[in-house]
Structure 1
């Protein structure tokens, strides 16, 4: 009724208002009469609806605000449903944040520029905690299955030695084995527990340094404090400064999964981003 009334008042005639509303003039006239009956007073001074009564003018000013608010609300709801609006909370490991995630976010923001995105990089254990506490919509890292959440395998990559490019291990990198690491300072990190190779046990046990934070870890390796082990993708971000040396006898690999909240509680934006990552994975654009 408010929309019908404001259209008639704005256009000054039933026929023009009907055309703007996509209704017949008789339907608009009937709706307007019902509105005036509810009000209990006429809103137009003439039958041609070209001039408002003083009461009609007051109601018109109020009705315009309400109709505008209603249309804005509908627009927001439709935007949320299309993923044009809303929010997306991501928790990812640093290696993910530094490699394929920027391209995925770029594609997403180009299609959905109004979505607010919160990205936090942290270790995989912290990602799992954020997901369990529902403080993240999507987590990407080395994640175990979490009850009630959906897990998708993205890729796996091999571990290798990360050291300075001038380190003496780089001289025979194509024949590097666990044995070659014994005489060097090894800096342990949060991913070392994934390496179950028997020959790695003594190296880890002899380490006197544990650095879970990747940025700090890389800083120490750059400074020549020691060497470390990282998956290939985790080391890719520093390939211009450091060397990644595969081990000929390593069997351990890191598996990276995407874990999402149940579909029924995901925002449309989060659901769309998850579908984008899955599509990139199917196309071989990840890993």
Structure 2
């Protein structure tokens, strides 16, 4: 017969209370049931654990086994607590992969509330362009993706919000001085910095501008550094240009129907941990006010 956790619990209770009656009351069992389980434990070990039938004194072997039983019962209790915390989404890890503008403008208040409500959950947030977010999801490095993403087999995709594209240039650039609503024609002959989102813009008049670009930069911070250095202008969603990014202008584009769409993408629900499912629910429930 294998040693069961109930045997250890019974033995510890008898040792703590010094009697079968006291142990039975503590465990909510009858004294005869406690006596039977203790006898099974001693038979398995092949030696007595108490010096007398009164159970008030442990044998030397009983003293050693009591220390091991106490350690094992504490470990078992911690394991049960951890399992239950994971099932209630009170513990665990959530891996998020999202575009920089979403990480900077959308996620902070969501994460602040989530962490306050579930301090036992660890969040790993990675910001990257949409192609990298897609790879993170497919290769299993992310539980939740937030980016401009296509439909993918095996993944659930939900539209979170959309925002407009505009030309971004340094303050003082000729486009900023003379135009409120620029057109693709205004970018003819202007040095243009391409970025990962440009592939989402399908306007026919934009394609020659993209084809003529000599510089592709994917990271938003690097794009802004290039703009500040006078390397050209670019096209970004409005949300990508945060208020704290000083020295730049966002110029709305006239006669453009394309909008940047940001999707919440997750694997099938059965593949998500309770903590990741709860995080996805928090993102869905958040009020996201994307600028028009």
CA RMSD in angstroms, aligned pairs only: 2.2
Q: Residue 161 of structure 2 contacts residue 288 of structure 2 at CA under 8 Å; is this kept in 1?
A: no
Alpha carbons of 1:239 and 1:197: their partners in 2 closer, same or farther (altered >3 Å)? same
Name 1:114's counterpart in structure 2: 120
Tell me what 1:248 maps to.
254
SS of aligned partner of 1:41: coil
CA distance in 2, matches of 1:256, 1:167: 29
**Corresponding residue number in structure 1 for 2:93:** 87
How far did 1:159 drift? 0.1
Tell me the equivalent position of 2:288: 285
| Distance in 2 of aligned mates of 1:201 and 1:125 | 20
The two structures have a TM-score, normalised by structure 1, of 0.89
Within the candidate set 204, 208, 215, 1:209 is matched to 215
Q: Does the CA contact (< 8 Å) of 1:138 and 1:260 recur in 2?
A: yes
Instruction: Write the distance in 1 (CA, Å) between the matches of 2:54 and 2:118.
Output: 46
Q: Is residue 96 of structure 1 aligned with residue 102 of structure 2?
A: yes
Q: Any gaps of 5 or more consecutive residues in structure 2?
A: 1-6
- Equivalent position of 1:8 in the other structure: 14
Alpha-carbon displacement from aligned partner over 1:13-70 (angstroms, at most 9, x marks no partner): 4444344434454543443333234334332234442221222112111211111121
Aligned pairs for 1:186-201 (under 5 A) are 186-201=192-207
The correspondence of residues 1-287 of structure 1 with structure 2, limited to 5 A, is 1-236=7-242, 238-280=244-286, 284-285=287-288, 287=290
1:271 positional shift: 1.4
Deviation of 1:141 (Å): 0.5
Question: 1: CA distance between counterparts of 2:113 and 2:88?
Answer: 16
Structure 1, unmatched stretches of 5+, are none
Separation of aligned partners in 2, 1:58 and 1:148: 54
**TM-score normalised to the size of structure 2?**
0.88
Alignment length (residue pairs): 284
Once residues 238 and 206 of structure 1 are traced to their aligned partners in structure 2, the CA distance between those partners, rounded to angstroms, is 31
